[in-house]
Amino acid sequence: MTRTEKVFLAILSALLAATLAADLLGPSCSDERPEPLEVAAYYAQDSLEALNWTRLTFLDSLSRGRLDTVIIPYRKYFVECADSIGWDWHMLAALSYHESKFDLNAVSRKGAVGLMQVTPPTAGHYGIYDLHDPRQNILAGALNIKNMVWRYRRIAADENELFKFTMAAYNAGAGRIKSCFEYAAERGIEPHYWDEIGALIPDMEDFKGVETIDYVDTMEEVYGLFRQIK
């Protein structure tokens, strides 16, 4: 056998061995996710695979009325924690979807962590230290909301306005919203409606609150969709 023939056989043997190994081991790991057979495959269970579907058309399914296809990850914790503060669990779930797309490992540029995007100092204020535990994360978010509800209940004109003030504070921080009230007071305004605050924000020098105004509007829409879930 010539040297060329030996080299050819060696290459052929290597190729066959690689093919056999691939068949035995199956497809290699990658970041690619399998395409769903149908939209109904969003969340089969509270698992990593289930959470991988969150970046698909979840809200599109709701808006089309396909409520039978929607399963909320960690639903039992949303219900439990919402009950503990006297609020609707759909609101907590909607907030988590808007904040993190139900991603327990999400971390924002400002250091907010997990499902409810709570910062460690805020969670620590409520005696919660494991923000990668789904129940503790949701509870931290719920307790933060409870604190904000207490702040704005005597101010808001009704429950809907209370929701708006609370969402604004969740996004911008209670300190920022306090500055908005102080700015309104300087102009002789005692706002009981979020739109009254929203109208003043563009004139404020120390708070560019366009993002917060959009946040409140979006949360109204998302919450409206989530409330359809049985």
pLDDT in tens, 55-75: 444 666 666 666 555 678 898
pLDDT in tens, 8-23: 344 445 444 444 334 4
Cβ–Cβ < 8 Å for 153, 162: yes
Residues 95, 110, 202, 175, CA torsion sign: positive
Active site residues: 99
Q: How far apart (Å, rounded) are the C-alpha atoms in residues 54 and 161?
A: 29
State the pLDDT at residue 146: 96
Q: Is the per-residue pLDDT at 5 higher than 60?
A: no
Name the average pLDDT for the chain: 79
Report, in this order, helix, strand and coil percent for the chain, each rounded to 5: 65, 0, 35
- The secondary structure of 174-207 as a DSSP string is HHHHHHHHHHHHHTT----SHHHHHHHGGG-SS-
